[in-house]
Each structure stands twice: as C-alpha cells, then as structure tokens.
Amino acid sequence: MRTLPILLALPFILTACGEGGAIDANLKSTIRQSVVASCNATAQGQIPEGVRIDVSAVCDCAADKVMAEHSVQDLVSNPPTPSEALDKVKACVSEIGPVTIAPPAE
C-alpha cells in the first residue's frame, strides 16, 4: 500500500510524544485515510466490467480491520503489506457481499 510522505517522520514524532491522546487520534485518522485512499485507487480499473460491488464500503471495512490489528506505532514502522491488505479486502468482500454480476449489455 502507498504511504504518505509524512509517515516517514512519524516514528520520530511517536518517540518524542508517546502513543495516545490527540496526536495518536490524528495519526490514526491520517493513516486510515491513507489506507482507504490507497484501496480505492487500487480498485479503480481492477474490477471487471459488469461486476458490481460497493468499493467504498469494502475499503472502509478493510481499513478498519487494519487499524484494529495494529497500533499507530506499528503501522508507521511496519505498514501493511499488499498481501495483508488484500487479505482484509477479501474478508470484507465476503462480509459485505454480495458481489453481483450485471447482465450483458445488449
């Protein structure tokens, strides 16, 4: 997954401030937004024609799963790998479902 350039400075911020409080909440929000944006961008053009799925809901779900399993410091020092993120997306697709196939255009 792509990470924001600001994430490179976050280990220093976390070391200086510790985890928790307003800084932690802001970092979590920034990281979550980055995960969702990356998921949405990756999904563009990847879904076959005729397949209907709520990409925003799936990406929100996947971001929530990533955030729930890691502390902010973990996410900054070791961002989720594409395969980890894909595992979360797959889990969310099966939870959110259904994926529908549109009838062929006439």
Helix (H) or strand (E) holding 104: none
106 part of a folded domain:
no
- Angle among Cα 71, 44, 75 to the nearest 5 degrees reads 10
Q: What is the mean pLDDT of residues 78-92?
A: 83
pLDDT value for 105: 62
What tens digit of pLDDT does each residue of 40-69 get?
A: 888 888 888 888 888 899 999 999 998 898
pLDDT, average across residues 67-92: 84
Residue 27: which domain range?
Answer: 5-101
Q: How many domains does the chain have?
A: 1
Q: Tell me the average pLDDT across 5-29.
A: 60
The verdict on whether omega for the bond into residue 11 sits within 30 degrees of 0, i.e. cis, is: no
pLDDT of res. 18? 52
Q: Does residue 84 lie in a domain region?
A: yes
Which H helix or E strand runs over 60? helix 55-69
pTM of the model: 0.68
